[in-house]
Amino acid sequence: MQVMPINYYIFLSVALFTIGIVGVLTRRNAIIIFMCIELMLNAVNVLLVAFSKMHHLNAFAADQLTTVGTEAQLFVFFIMVVAAAEVTVGLAIIVMLYRNIHSVDINFLNRLKH
Amino acid sequence: MNSILVSVLWGILLMYAGFLTKNKRSISVLAVVGAVAVLSANALEYMGLSFFDIDTKGMLFYNPYSYIFLVVIHASLLLYFLLSGTEVEETAATPSDHYALIFFVASGISIIAGFKSLLMLFLGIEIISIPLYVLAGSDKSNLKSNEAALKYFLMGAFSTGLMLMGIAFLYGDSGTFYLEGINMGATEMSPLKAIGGVLILASMAFKVSAAPFHFWTPDVYDGSPTVFTSFMATIVKSAAFFAFIKLFEGAFGKIQGQWQVLLAVITALTLIVGNITAVFQQSVKRMLSYSSIAQAGFMVMGIFAMNLMAKQGLVLYFAAYSVASIAIFAVLAKLKDHSVDAFNGFAKAHPLVAAVVLICLLSLAGVPLTAGFFAKYYMLVAVLKNGTMYWLPVLAIVCAAVSVYYYFRVIQAMYFKETEAGSVAEIQFSSSFKVIMVVCALLIIGLGIHPDWLMDLL
Amino acid sequence: MNKFVFLIPLLPLLGFLINGLGRNYLGKSLVSIIGSGVLLASFALSVAAFNWVNAPGFKPEVIFYFDFIHTGGLRIPISFLIDQLSVLFLLIITGVGSLIHIYSAAYMHEEAAPHFARYFAYLNLFVFSMLLLVMGANFVVMFVGWEGVGLCSYLLIGYWFGNNEYNKAAKKAFVMNRIGDLGFLLAIFWMIGQFGSISYMEVFAKAPTASVAVITGITMLLFVGAMGKSAQIPLYTWLPDAMAGPTPVSALIHAATMVTAGIYMIARSNVLYTLAPASQDLVAIIGSATALFAATIALKQNDIKKVLAYSTVSQLGLMFLALGVGAYTSGVFHVMTHAFFKALLFLGAGSVIHAMHHEQDILKMGGLKSKLPITHLTFLIGCLAIVGIPPFAGFFSKDEILIAALQKNPVYYVLAVATSLMTTFYMFRLYFLTFGGNFRGTDHQWSHLHESPFAMTFPLIALAVLSVVGGWIGIPTLFMEDAHRLSNFLQPVIAPPSEVHHLEHSVEWMLLGAVLTLVLVAILLAARRYGKNFKVENTETGLSKLLANKWYVDELYDAIVVRPLDALGAFLGRVIDNRVVDGVVNGVGKAVQFGGRQLRLLQSGQVGSYVLLMVASLIAFLILQLFWKP
Amino acid sequence: MPLSEILFWFLTALALFSALMVVFSDNPIHSVLWLIMVFFAISGHYILMNAQFLAIVNLIVYAGAIMVLFLFVIMLMNMNTDAEPQKSQWMRIAAAVSGGALLLILVAALKDNAGAVSRTSGEGSIGLIRNLGKVLFTDYVLPFEISSVLFLSAMVGAVVLGKREKNSKPVNH
Amino acid sequence: MYAAFDNFPALLIWLPLVGALLSFFMRSETAAKNVAVLFSLLALGVVGSSLLYVDSKYQALNQVSYVWLPGLESSFAFILDGLTRTLCLLTAVSFPLIFLFIPVGKYKQPHVFYGLMMLTQCGLMGVFMATDALVFYLFWELALIPVYFLSSIWGGEKRIRATFKFFIYTFVGSLFMLIGIIYIYLKTSGSFNLINFYNAALTHQEEGWLFALFFLAFAIKMPLFPFHTWQPDAYEQSPTPVTMVLSGIMVKMGLFGLMRWLIAMLPHGAKAHQTMVVVLAVIGMIYASLIAMRQDNIKRLIAYSSIAHIGLMALGIFTFQQVAVTGVVIQMFTHGVNVVALWMVADLIERQTGTLSMSALGGIAKKAPNLAIFMLVFAFANIALPLTNAFVGEFMIFSGVYAMSPWWAAAAGISIILSAVYTLNMVKNVFYGEAAAAVQGFMDIRPLQSFVFVVLTVLIFFVGVYPGPFLSMIAETVSLIVNKLTGI
């Protein structure tokens, strides 16, 4: 295994994150927007794991048995948990809306404004 | 810890209560009992009686400040249940489920009252947010409610993404999720920490509906069933603020000067947007939504200053703001029409309730001898004490003056205008409702005359 | 004696209170007895005071009562000063006042009881204020009386308040007086600043220490006050209008006493004026100009009281001329004689008006001497006195003024003589039109003409006697060495001019003769023109129209002061206050509302734009945090 | 270039490309599939970083469960046609500009971040399920329990929203 | 907080407050009115007795301080000194008279009306006596709120807009003051006490802008040109008893504030802004007088006249001369008495004729001679004729102004002339002339009203003739204030 600057991971993550944001901005389909948000969460996950590794390795040099970095990977785990819960509720909302207006186009959501 | 446990258990209990009884009233009573239970559980822990003792690995830690905050929250919750119980029953198909969700939210609030780790913050905020998405959309056949739910959900999820990214950067910088760990280190912010800070700031601003991340607020508050708007705009918002200040004090307290400009900008924008836009509103409900933004502007000032004065004052602000808003929303929920004109002649038809609403509005406007005055007062002192950016309090009071304009429109409608068709007279207020309203008024006036009753506890 | 001095003003005040409060309960005769009685008592006390003052070894005495204002280095006591000058005025005021009160009892008898009482109350209040004015030992007490008489003048001019013209006249009088009062007030403040005191004694004692400029300023401001009260140019227009009041009021206030307050003030402050030649010149110029100006107007007036009013203005001008040329005693002397004959003339006019059932137009009179013998005779004496035929009172006082004017500047003399001649002409025009020739009124009036009751004729007679003998206390050295008893009497208060260069007696005799001749010519002219053969001419042209319309001064004031101020008030109220000042306030409110309307557009309802705005803000925040270094 | 580096670049390219395709696919189903592709790529990265547990969980939870749920919903709504109307032109431009700006700023801010470099990404074994599990059930038992509340509330919420009310029909108002 | 009743200031706070609460719970109008009159008379009695205990050995009676918020270092601290005694006397005298003057059955919900009035009285007393900045601020607002409701509920047609403008305007001002208070508080050794505020360590520059904050609040309250535009509308639209309170007493809050809380506290700031205030005051005096000349509505006329008078008082304060400031204190009292009297007359006219437009009125003197006589007294007191109360104050003020600058005195003096013009205009148009159609059935005043007027008249002449006791009472306090400014 070779040297891999943390910046690469950061840039990758930021790029994914940005793509997610652009997706949220450009799409009108609520489900796709939601998927883009999931993409953003995954970008975070990548970054967390990368940082976890980085910190672990920094500590590893001093102490072979270190558990530094575990917390970030567990954080990723919790993010996934939460994402799953969010998806449950989110899709329920989308389905509910679809039942009422037969569309998931967010541009139709403009009864509430000003 | 007690309150987390009790509220979760009570949530589960209510969840099952729906199977046991179809009597909505008894479910409400159960919820009220639950609120009392949570309140007393928290109070017991404050007095030193903890139901259980586990090692949280320092992820949760409660100090008196947290406990008093929770007391305020739980007391508000109790008032909320007492005043709005009937509305919950009417709005919700299955009130037991809704009450359960509210109790889950309460447990989330208890978590973020004591978080020391970003993980707990994240979990707490999610436990609060997810039931709220549901509550916002709980009037399922109402398209406005649907719309509110979806908007809230999409934007909430988006802001969660921002927060997580921020957390990731902070972790990358410091290698830990503990607040103390983040706060340690250089006094000069590294880019990682700066980016993390900004991202997490944005997401917290979103949660407390501070401009320019407030856009969801008016739509969601307006669209949600009034009874849940009340809950969201008061108790939940207070909790979000508590998390906000706890996070920024814990994680960035040492480098306060380096992010204060951002908060000043946020404060100014929030004050201006909230107040100026509220002036235009014709619907009281939507006006209150904007007013909640405006009030958030004042609370952000506390975070901007972040000294002892600010921390104490914020809790007072929560109490003042929550009690007043809950009472007004409770009345609003009983009115079919939410326009300002719907309040015409209200004072003549219901003098007592009108008087309480009057006191609440005065408190929101920050008129002395109400709790709202001292709340705002503490914020101003905190900012002035901070010693920089004197334009901020000046802007704040100008905005407070503007706020008088829209709050007093309701007062004018209630007291100085005649009703057209006797629509307000048809509304019935039960005597228990009136009693609770009077309690609200007394709380507001009591805290307005002698805020030390609360402040001494902090 | 000094223990009872306070009673002199207090008695009229008491009369005011009794009559005022009891006006609904007291009968008319009781009211008149109280009203006149208090004044007679005051008069008696004044005589006693005079005796006290006149006694050898008397020193002017300040009688202190209490501190009116005493704080922070400013001390204003309520105290009275009894000296020769004030006692002289006391006598004039209470004496003439008593006569006029008695006269009024009959003259006003037609009034309903409450109004009758109100009238006497006002009159008593006036006397009280006037006494305060002359008895005060400092400028503030004088000012208190000064404004008090203004108030009473206002109340009495507007006594018949049902008539709006009268009310306007009353208001005009008060406002014009106020303009003068402001000058007086400023002078008082200046004196406080300069001398730290407003008491006569201290101010006069310290006066030589102040610079001439300061004294000039103070005296000029004082003179502004005098201009208002004594109806001098440019503040004279109220006095003719003031004739709206009952005639006895005109006699007392607007002829004998109040209007001479300005002369009293300057005579009282003669120490200051002597130190300020520029002010003296101003006084003399204004005085002589007013004298001449008012006389020209009087030439063409047809209202019996208006003629007398302008004559009063003119005579006051002469008095100021006297003061201005340094002949303070002469001024005071003329005040005294003028009080006698002008009161007499007014009361005579009142008698005529009474007889004519409130007809005041002399063009509708004529030939009254047969029906009103006493009035006629006394009126004639008054006319002779005012034009200065020896040995009537006016002769001595006026002659003194003329001589003093000549000594100062021949121009003043010429002006004064011209005034005298015009006075002669219009007074005899008045006399002939009223009493001479044929009656020009209705038959009904003629048949009801009758002499006035004794209560009215008695004061006429008394004043006529005074108009004859009143001047003898001031017989000039020309006739008798050291006969000027008034001058001697007043010497402690008014020091005679230091550098006196007397005219040759022969020159004096010559001038005297010339003036007398001219006066007689004027009388003859008037008799020719307005005697038996007089016919009413309806058309007035040229100069005479100008004079009949009083040089259009009222209209001028209206155009340059009243109306612009009114317009300015309206403009400020409607435009500046409503639109500009309030407009700014409302504008702020409107701006907030406008801002609200615009800002809410951000709230488009679109999730996409919300998120976009959030992201944009986030970018801005990142830039601010990462790259912005203050 | 060592294998791991080649793999890194390959996975990165795959992830980014797939992510872009998620955003730009017209057909929602394609988006879902591309998103699954992203997850695979990311899982690959996890493995490269020796975080095998997360790599597996990512595939099982995300690609396996969540995405299937998405797919299910999309199909339920019969949305396989690319019927979605496009957002207005300026909105897309604004999105692109702001996305680009955000990326630019973050990259600009972090380009000098010498902070730490992952020297060899194979060392350490915290990513193994044994280690993670141990920590999770000892130190992290509290958040773990708390997340159960989260699930509970999500469940209740889904039930509340999903349950059809009696006599309720969509109302347009 | 737990104020005992063995001292005057506490009694003056409690009595009106208790009266207010009792009034609220009265059912019948007479009961409510009686309670209000009784408690306001009690308050008057307290103020009256305090006049007998002015000596410094009775300090315990006249000064009180109860710890209120130890956390904020604020306490309920009140004092009765020369200045406040005068103003409390004005308050205590005015309220019973106003109550007595209100006819039965005029206002619906009378118990609320009287309760709010008493609450206002409580607020006013608190404002005048407070020696703690926070307490001062609280009472400042407490006095405002009930008045807002009184005006808005019982006022005229355009009441909502007019009173709301008034409320917002004053509220904005007071908020600025709040900022100032907090700022100074932070610069003190940690207390809201007046003495500490006087001793706060402030630079000249700080004093300069703090001055602006406080001044704004006070200038709006007074109101000083150009912050006055709320006032004519508010006076016109408020029910007359409230207008009396507003113009007779409440505007004195601003002047009082200038003295106690501004010039003595920020002497350097005051010196720096002296010219500005003087200019505003003089402009305002002439400006308001000119506008008053052209008003047709009696209430508006009195309102503008009030602005002119207030301008003079502000001018007097900013001469920083002992004489003038003493004069202002006297004038505050007398202006209160006079303007209340004028409003009462106006109210009587409005009650009987239903109009206050001068063009519709005239000849009232014929129908109601007694009223006319009282009106004359009040009018001439308004003009500041010597021997009426206003002369004393005006004389002293002008004397101070003159000492400061003769030119300003002369300019301000123009308003003396104009005041005669508009006041006499009103007297002429309303009372004199032939009786207009509107006044045909006009009744003269009744005994109770006469009694009220007699009391006012006695006050007018007593102060006008023998102001000595007042002056000596005020002198010490004023010299304390003025001494802060000398030597700067």
Chains B, E: CB pairs < 8 Å:
71
Chains C, E: CB pairs < 8 Å:
153
What per-residue confidence (pLDDT) applies to B408?
92
Check CB contact of D49 with chain A, cutoff 8 Å: yes
**Cα C602 to Cα C600: distance, rounded to the nearest angstrom:** 5
Measured in angstroms, the CA of D134 and the nearest CA of chain C are apart by 39
CA–CA–CA angle C527, C529, C534 (5° rounding): 105
Alpha helices in B253-366 (DSSP H): 256-280, 284-305, 308-334, 346-349, 351-365
Q: Is residue C206 part of a domain?
A: no
CATH number at residue D2: 1.20.120.1200
Is the same domain home to D66 and D1? yes
Lowest mean pLDDT among C82-96, D102-116, E309-323: D102-116
Task: Please determine, for residue B194, whether its predicted confidence score (pLDDT) is greater than 50.
Answer: yes
Check CB contact of E1 with chain B, cutoff 8 Å: yes
E vs D contact (3+ beta-carbon pairs below 8 A):
no
Q: How confident is the model at residue D86 (pLDDT cuts 50, 70, 90)?
A: low
Which chains are within 8 Å of E by 3+ CB pairs?
A: B, C
Alpha helices in C299-372 (DSSP H): 304-324, 328-355
> pLDDT tens for residues C171-199?
999 999 999 999 999 999 999 988 888 99
What per-residue confidence (pLDDT) applies to A60?
80
Q: Is residue D169 part of a domain?
A: no
Task: Give the strand pairing for C74-82 and C61-71.
Answer: antiparallel
Task: Give the strand pairing for E63-69 and E74-79.
Answer: antiparallel
Question: Which one, of E463, E41, E429, E456, lies nearest residue E248 by Cα?
Answer: E456
Cβ within 8 Å, pair C611-A24: yes
The residue range of the domain holding D72 is 1-79
Q: Is residue D85 part of a domain?
A: no
Q: Is residue D104 part of a domain?
A: no
CB-CB neighbors (< 8 A) of E178 in chain B: 377, 380, 397
Indicate the residue type of C133.
Answer: L
Which chains are within 8 Å of C by 3+ CB pairs?
A: A, B, D, E
Task: Please determine, for residue B108, whether its predicted confidence score (pLDDT) is greater than 70.
Answer: yes
Residues 599-618 of C with CB under 8 A from A: 600-601, 603-608, 611-612, 615
Q: How confident is the model at residue C549 (pLDDT cuts 50, 70, 90)?
A: confident
Tokens of D130: 């044994």
Task: Please determine, for residue B414, whether its predicted confidence score (pLDDT) is greater than 70.
Answer: yes
Task: Please determine, for residue D171, whether its predicted confidence score (pLDDT) is greater than 60.
Answer: no
Task: Please determine, for residue B172, whether its predicted confidence score (pLDDT) is greater than 80.
Answer: yes
* Residue D169 zone, left/alpha/beta (φ > 0; ψ -120 to 50; rest): beta
Question: Which one, of C399, C133, C149, lies nearest residue C268 by Cα?
Answer: C133
What per-residue confidence (pLDDT) applies to C4?
85
> pLDDT tens for residues D17-36?
999 999 888 888 899 999 99
By percentage, how much of chain C surpasses pLDDT 70? 97
Collect all residues from B whose CB is shorter than 8 A from any CB in C. Answer: 151, 154-155, 158, 162, 191, 194-195, 197-199, 201-202, 206, 212-213, 215-216, 218-219, 259, 261-262, 265, 272-273, 276-281, 402, 405
Average pLDDT, chain C: 88
Residue of B nearest to A88 (CA): B130
Cβ within 8 Å, pair C614-B213: yes
Residues 6+ apart with CB under 8 A from C556: none
Q: How confident is the model at residue C73 (pLDDT cuts 50, 70, 90)?
A: confident
D vs A contact (3+ beta-carbon pairs below 8 A):
yes
Chains B, D: CB pairs < 8 Å:
100
Check CB contact of E48 with chain C, cutoff 8 Å: no
> pLDDT tens for residues B2-22?
899 999 999 999 989 888 888
Is the same domain home to D5 and D66? yes
CB-CB neighbors (< 8 A) of E462 in chain C: none
Q: Name which of B397, B417, B456 is nearest E71 (Cβ-Cβ).
A: B456
How many domains is chain C built from?
1
Report, in angstroms and rounded to the nearest whole number, the Rg of chain B calculated over CA atoms. Answer: 21
> What mean pLDDT comes out for the span B45-62?
86
Task: Please determine, for residue A28, whether its predicted confidence score (pLDDT) is greater than 80.
Answer: yes
Task: Please determine, for residue E373, whether its predicted confidence score (pLDDT) is greater than 50.
Answer: yes
- Domain termination site, one of D42, D59, D79: D79
CB-CB neighbors (< 8 A) of B381 in chain E: 182, 185-186
Check CB contact of B455 with chain E, cutoff 8 Å: yes
What per-residue confidence (pLDDT) applies to B23?
86
> What mean pLDDT comes out for the span C546-554?
83
Q: Is residue C39 part of a domain?
A: no
CB-CB neighbors (< 8 A) of B143 in chain A: 100-101, 111
> pLDDT tens for residues B118-159?
999 999 999 999 999 999 998 888 889 999 999 999 999 999
Lowest mean pLDDT among C426-430, C493-497, D168-172: D168-172
CB-CB neighbors (< 8 A) of D54 in chain B: none
Task: Please determine, for residue E1, whether its predicted confidence score (pLDDT) is greater than 50.
Answer: no
Q: Is residue C598 part of a domain?
A: no
Collect all residues from A whose CB is shorter than 8 A from any CB in C. Answer: 21, 24-25, 28, 33, 106-107, 109-114
Task: Please determine, for residue B81, whether its predicted confidence score (pLDDT) is greater than 60.
Answer: yes
Cβ within 8 Å, pair A112-B147: yes
Q: Name which of C608, C609, C619 is nearest D101 (Cβ-Cβ).
A: C619
The residue range of the domain holding C461 is 286-533
Check CB contact of A37 with chain B, cutoff 8 Å: yes
Cβ within 8 Å, pair D160-B194: no
> What mean pLDDT comes out for the span A46-54?
90
Q: How confident is the model at residue B91 (pLDDT cuts 50, 70, 90)?
A: confident
Task: Please determine, for residue D165, whether its predicted confidence score (pLDDT) is greater than 80.
Answer: no
Q: How confident is the model at residue C629 (pLDDT cuts 50, 70, 90)?
A: confident
Task: Please determine, for residue C504, whether its predicted confidence score (pLDDT) is greater than 80.
Answer: no
Task: Give the strand pairing for C61-71 and D117-118.
Answer: unpaired
What per-residue confidence (pLDDT) applies to B140?
86
For residue C449, report the phi and psi dihedrals to the nearest 5 degrees. Answer: -65, 135
Q: Is residue C341 part of a domain?
A: yes
> What mean pLDDT comes out for the span C308-321?
91
> What mean pLDDT comes out for the span B199-222?
93
Cβ within 8 Å, pair B100-D156: yes
Cβ within 8 Å, pair D157-A39: no
Cβ within 8 Å, pair D119-A3: yes
- DSSP code of residue B21: -
> pLDDT tens for residues C371-414?
888 889 899 999 999 988 888 888 888 888 888 888 888 899 99
What per-residue confidence (pLDDT) applies to C329?
87
Q: Name which of C66, C69, C144 is nearest E387 (Cβ-Cβ).
A: C144
The model's pTM: 0.91
Measured in angstroms, the CA of D63 and the nearest CA of chain B are apart by 19
> What mean pLDDT comes out for the span E3-27?
86
Q: How confident is the model at residue B352 (pLDDT cuts 50, 70, 90)?
A: very high
Mutation test of the interface with chain B: which of C586, C590, C592, C593, choosing the one with the most B Cβ atoms within 10 A? C592
**Cα B157 to Cα B150: distance, rounded to the nearest angstrom:** 10
Cβ within 8 Å, pair E322-C71: yes
B vs E contact (3+ beta-carbon pairs below 8 A):
yes
> pLDDT tens for residues E451-474?
999 999 999 999 999 998 889 888
What per-residue confidence (pLDDT) applies to B337?
83
Tokens of E346: 């106006």
Fold for domain A6-113? Helix Hairpins (1.10.287)
> pLDDT tens for residues E45-100?
999 988 888 887 888 888 888 888 887 788 889 999 889 999 999 999 999 999 99
Residues 6+ apart with CB under 8 A from C107: C246, C247, C248, C350, C354, C452, C456
How many helices and strands in chain B, by DSSP H and E?
20, 0
Q: How confident is the model at residue E363 (pLDDT cuts 50, 70, 90)?
A: confident
C188/D116: higher pLDDT = C188
E vs A contact (3+ beta-carbon pairs below 8 A):
no
Measured in angstroms, the CA of D157 and the nearest CA of chain B are apart by 5
Check CB contact of B150 with chain A, cutoff 8 Å: yes
CB-CB neighbors (< 8 A) of C596 in chain B: 276-280
- Look-up of token digits 């209100």: E102
> pLDDT tens for residues C421-480?
999 999 998 898 888 888 888 888 888 888 888 888 899 999 999 988 888 887 776 676
Q: Is residue D119 part of a domain?
A: no
Measured in angstroms, the CA of C588 and the nearest CA of chain B are apart by 10
Cβ within 8 Å, pair D23-A91: no
Q: How confident is the model at residue B320 (pLDDT cuts 50, 70, 90)?
A: very high
By CB neighbour count within 10 A (0-12 exposed, 13-18 middle, 19+ buried), where does C202 fall?
Answer: middle
Cβ within 8 Å, pair C615-A106: no
Q: Name which of A25, A106, A107 is nearest C615 (Cβ-Cβ).
A: A25
How many domains is chain D built from?
2
- DSSP code of residue E466: -
Cα-Cα-Cα-Cα dihedral of D10, D12, D17, D23, to 10°?
160
Cβ within 8 Å, pair A25-D94: yes
The residue extents of the domains of chain B are 255-458
For residue C78, report the phi and psi dihedrals to the nearest 5 degrees. Answer: -90, 110
Cβ within 8 Å, pair A82-B150: no
